[in-house]
Amino acid sequence: MIQMASSIDRRPTRVLVESDSGSGAQYYRCDFLVPEGFSAKLDRESRLALYERYKSIPELPHAFTIEEQTSGPIPAHFHRVPQFQVITGGQGKLGRHAVRGFAVHYTDPYTAYGPIVPGDGSTLSYYTLRMQYDPGANYLNLPGARELLQPSRKRFLLVDPDAVNVATPETLLARTTTSLDTLIPEEDDGVAAYLLRVAPGAVATGPDPSVCGGQYYIVANGSLQRDGAELPQLSCLYVSGSEPPLQVTAGRAGLEALVLQFPRHATTS
């Protein structure tokens, strides 16, 4: 189950959304890999009904972007499923941490994080990546949210953009080798993050997805060629944990792709 979704030049319709946290935050949302029946305009009750329908499915990838967040913070909150987020544009703060492109963070289910706050005079854009359907954020500032918290490993793993160290276009074009840089060392349940760097036109094989619950590839730099398609910067691709390691071909300018691994046995309730 390899699913591709290209952004930027072939993206779906952007939907203007206002956070239901009461903070007044507004942003554009683009959904790329979407569970059947989902819409960004669904009300809370409908999203919860969809969650009950899908919560026993271990792999149901859902990938979307939040773009140009303005008009207030998104308050601290948690989700019921594991997720990665990748900052793709602008700058701001995630909790007490300053973030910009390409900061990466992972959170376990029922693990609070935030607030997400654009910097002064800046917007903030980012990918949200999940391997299971989630009915939406539980905001800690709203009544009843804390009562929904359940035990989990409570991991909040943040990779600073300086550690990701995406190359300049000139450096990537001059690359002659392939490397796999570790951003989050693999944990006992398969959670990990890497940056795969591939020379222009070269073929490379990514890490083995069988050690985890599924992988997302995000094109951070250059482009990725796959099955006759050219996926430009900020495209995403999902690889099931039951698939063999993904083989990719770098575009003419080379490729740097984030590889984000989910836990093997993510459970929801």
pLDDT digits (tens, 9 = 90+) for 205-216: 999 999 999 999
Give dist(CA 195, CA 201) in Å, integer: 17
Rounded to two decimals, the pTM is 0.92
265 has pLDDT over 70:
yes
pLDDT of 224: 95
165-261 has CATH 2.60.40.10 classification: no
* CA proximity to 65, closest of 124, 146, 135: 124
168 has pLDDT over 90:
yes
Domain segments of the chain as ranges: 8-161, 165-261
pLDDT, tens digit, for every residue of 187-205? Answer: 999 999 999 999 999 999 9
pLDDT confidence band for 159 (50 / 70 / 90): very high
Establish whether domains 8-161 and 165-261 are of one fold. yes
6 has pLDDT over 80:
no
Average per-residue pLDDT in the chain? Answer: 89
pLDDT of 10: 47
82 has pLDDT over 90:
yes
Q: Which fold has domain 8-161?
A: Jelly Rolls (2.60.120)
